[in-house]
Amino acid sequence: MEIININSPIQKEKFPFAKESLTYSIWGNCLCLLFFVPFLGIAATIVSLVMAIHGLKKGKIGIDMYKGNSQKYDGGSFAMTLIGFILGIIGTITSGILIIYSLFFTIIMSAVIFGGHF
């Protein structure tokens, strides 16, 4: 006679894009905080914009995958994908604004450093 364990949980798949979406979105939000460094701030905010957009796209792909087959995937990895998507939106907006700030800050600081009158 076999003993069948009825209470064993069903293993669900994790999203393939959950960690990637969250990682890129967090790095995109962190790198945009370097906007105040002259010259380096421009490059950092452009990279942060690209990373935030990448995290946003991976989050959108993950959300669409979950809508297509929600029974197959784990809810925790869906939450990570959703947080990555939201942080991607925030990072895209923040990076876009801070690119403009970094350009102005670099122009003002280069005028001060190189002795020009502004």
Domain boundaries, the chain: 18-113
Query: Which residues, at least 6 apart from 57, have a Cβ–Cβ distance to it below 8 Å?
Result: 88
Rounded Cα distance between 91 and 33, Å, is 10
Predicted TM-score (pTM) of this structure: 0.80
Question: In angstroms, how far is the first alpha carbon of the chain from the final one?
Answer: 89
Residue with tokens 């895209």: 92
User: pLDDT 10s per residue in the chain (118 long)?
Assistant: 566 655 556 677 777 778 888 999 999 999 988 888 888 999 999 999 999 999 999 999 888 888 888 788 777 888 888 999 999 999 999 999 999 999 999 988 888 888 766 5
CA 74/CA 11 separation, integer angstroms? 8
Alpha carbons 56 and 72: distance in angstroms, whole number:
22
For residue 73, with 0-12 CB atoms within 10 Å meaning exposed, 13-18 middle and 19 or more buried, which class applies? buried
User: Would you state the structure tokens that stand for residue 101, as one six-digit string?
Assistant: 């700030």
